[in-house]
Structure 1
Amino acid sequence: MDSTPTEVVVFEFGPYFRAYKNGRVERFFGTDKVPSSNNSDHAVSSKDFLIDQETGLSARIFIPSTIKSGQKLPLLVYYHGGAFLVGSPFCPTYHNYMTSLVAEANIITVSVDYRLAPEHHIPIAYEDSWAALQWVAKHHNNEGPEGWLNDHADFQRVFLAGDSAGGNIVYNMVARAGIEDLAGLKILGACLVHTYFGRKDCEVDNYWLFVCPNTSGINDPRINPAMDSRLSTLGCTRVLICVAEKDVLKERGLLFCETLRKSGWDGEVQIVETEGEEHVFHLFNPDCEKAVILLKRLASFFNQDMAN
């Protein structure tokens, strides 16, 4: 007779993550690693860079393989989603989507591998994400450690983007950039896709409580921008908010748009809604018609001034 005690599950995130009372966690998404490559089928090259040896913070950098000597392209810093619990720039889902986005938009992308909860509770994800931005800023005067950024990044056209929890990180990064210096680096635009925020008409959900046990609750400005004194001084000039009709987070995205417009922030805010689709549908069905339309919309956001 098997006398092995059954482990007690204390938290689950859909089919992607499970945590046990004894501290063990299981991740069922984002653990597979696609190797970086040169001249892929999408004519995009990629390589990995260790940003901080002490913490293990790293990133995967993507660049069009057809780029020419001296050519400068917009620079995107991307933060993946996954409820702060799962996901990685190196997994097939995000590697493939970044490859498609770089090919479509003709941009350079730094996809950040921040540390995950519960091994590293909030605010570690924010601190890693800010450290990655500071690392990017070191290249502002072509003096950074990564040659692709020194040689080809247009630091007059720097964007941040992220989906779900990554969209939340993007918000917190541009909020911080509005009050702290990034070695002279200016962020032109921020794109928040199906972003994870709290709801003003209820308590915070179990996801946030699990990844941030020391939260102040629904008044925590990190998930409720309406309570954030930094909202009116966001450190970018334009924001694109993307929502999906059947996404449970849709109303939170719409509320953020309304709150931002009323905040006194003097930038430009745009909102795009995809009808009939669920949360981050574009990542799991990237070849469907609406995912392609969204991809092109993002590419347009990163290139809207290129003709000027």
Structure 2
Amino acid sequence: MGSTSEIVHEFLPHFRAYKDGRIERYFGLDKSPASITSPNGVSSKDVAIISETGVSARIFIPSTINQAQKLPLLVYFHGGVFVVGSPFCSTYHNFVTSLVATANVAVVSVDYRLAPEHSFPAPYEDSWAALNWVASHRNGQGREAWLNDHADFGRVFMAGDSAGGNIVHNMMSQAGLKDLFGEKLSGICLIHPYFARKDGGVLDEFWRLVCPSGLDYSWINPAVDSRLSSLWCTRVLVCVAEEDHLRDRGVFYYETLKNSGWAGEMEIFETEGEKHVFHLFNPNCERALALVQKLASFLNEDHKGALRDEKTSKGFESKE
């Protein structure tokens, strides 16, 4: 076997990357069809956002929505360490469908370019372009009728899991967000977010597929992000899982934000006894359903309230 066939990154059963730049993906390759007449009570359609780069999205709304009804709008960014995943694959299609059915919201699930074929900062550029496209519907004059007719731009949220949680943070830190949406976004949710480990290690090696120059970027380490205290939203929910290898990264983000001087409401929610993004791969288990219900409550509850920590029976604590 030649040196170019050497495996440099392996994250089974999701992908394997080789020294010569090849990557074998095993997750997110299937495509669930969008459907206007889905039996699960949720309609979906695919839209092209930027044809030159291939940025696109899948939009979801409840099938029972009436013509004049406005719903909270969630912009969702999938995970997959910036290397795998798609809003069109069955895993993410089914998750977002479940969330829409439970929360009664409209969702734009964004498809961004993946590493290593598209390196830093392509995922962020694509996600920012998608947000600009979403915001172009703010006055009811965008290209997509579902957003013009049914999105309540006074109740806009962003959420994402793993790498998608990282994207959510970085989109919230953009100075131009105020100009896009006017008033502050209602909230963001980071589900098992992917950030840098303080001590390096194999997880940080995955980041080098996206950003070969290394880790000295505010994109991946919120502790050095000077934008943290100015997040343009009123509420933040961080979800972690007890057995997740990234659990402490989520707790670290929560604690760093809390100490940054940011003035909004913060909440942390821990699922005990579960691993990273367990809800995607075991969606019908009791704890996955509880997580979806938590997200639904966050998207619908009154955003006025006291700063609080929410935790399951075992609670949470930093393990570093």
For residue 285 of structure 2, what is the aligned residue in structure 1? 288
For residue 104 of structure 1, what is the aligned residue in structure 2? 102
For residue 173 of structure 1, what is the aligned residue in structure 2? 171
After superposition, where does 1:156-235 map in structure 2 within 5 Å?
Answer: 156-177=154-175, 181-182=179-180, 184=182, 186-202=184-200, 205-215=204-214, 217=215, 219-235=216-232
Contact 2:76–2:159 (Cα < 8 Å) also in 1? yes
> Measured at CA, do residues 224 and 306 of structure 1 come closer, stay the same or move farther in structure 2, by a change above 3 Å?
closer
1:49-98, Cα deviation, whole Å (9 max, x unpaired): 00001111000000000000110000000000000000000000000010
SS of the aligned residue for 2:17 comes to: strand
> Measured at CA, do residues 56 and 247 of structure 1 come closer, stay the same or move farther in structure 2, by a change above 3 Å?
same
In 1: Cα distance, 2:184 partner to 2:53 partner = 26
1:191-229, Cα deviation, whole Å (9 max, x unpaired): 0000001122446711112221123x2x42111111001
Runs ≥4 residues deviating over 6 A:
3-6
Aligned-pair CA distance for 1:185: 5.9
- Counterpart among 247, 252, 255 of residue 250 in structure 1: 247
Contact 2:166–2:190 (Cα < 8 Å) also in 1? yes
Structure 2 residue 274 is the aligned partner of structure 1 residue 274:
no
Contact 1:137–1:185 (Cα < 8 Å) also in 2? no
Task: Say how many residue pairs are matched.
Answer: 303
- Overall identity of the aligned pairs, in %: 64
For residue 314 of structure 2, what is the aligned residue in structure 1? none
For residue 235 of structure 2, what is the aligned residue in structure 1? 238
Letter in 2 for 1:195: P
Aligned-pair CA distance for 1:184: 2.7
For residue 69 of structure 2, what is the aligned residue in structure 1? 71
- Give the gaps of 5 or more residues in structure 2: 305-320
> Measured at CA, do residues 244 and 104 of structure 1 come closer, stay the same or move farther in structure 2, by a change above 3 Å?
same
Letter in 2 for 1:42: N
> Measured at CA, do residues 32 and 177 of structure 1 come closer, stay the same or move farther in structure 2, by a change above 3 Å?
farther
- Give the gaps of 5 or more residues in structure 1: none
User: Which TM-score applies when normalising by structure 2?
Assistant: 0.90
SS of the aligned residue for 1:205 comes to: helix
For residue 116 of structure 1, what is the aligned residue in structure 2? 114
> Measured at CA, do residues 178 and 264 of structure 1 come closer, stay the same or move farther in structure 2, by a change above 3 Å?
farther
After superposition, where does 1:3-152 map in structure 2 within 5 Å?
Answer: 7-152=5-150
Contact 2:234–2:303 (Cα < 8 Å) also in 1? no
In 1: Cα distance, 2:75 partner to 2:290 partner = 21
For residue 259 of structure 1, what is the aligned residue in structure 2? 256
1:108-166, Cα deviation, whole Å (9 max, x unpaired): 00000000000001210000001000000000000100000000000000000000000
SS of the aligned residue for 1:62 comes to: strand
In 2: Cα distance, 1:201 partner to 1:269 partner = 26
SS of the aligned residue for 1:182 comes to: helix
In 1: Cα distance, 2:267 partner to 2:176 partner = 19
Contact 2:68–2:149 (Cα < 8 Å) also in 1? yes
Contact 2:193–2:250 (Cα < 8 Å) also in 1? yes
Contact 2:186–2:303 (Cα < 8 Å) also in 1? no
User: Which TM-score applies when normalising by structure 1?
Assistant: 0.94
1:254-296, Cα deviation, whole Å (9 max, x unpaired): 1111111110101001000000000000000000000000100
1:218-261, Cα deviation, whole Å (9 max, x unpaired): x4211111100100000111000000000011111111111111
Letter in 2 for 1:145: R
In 2: Cα distance, 1:250 partner to 1:214 partner = 25
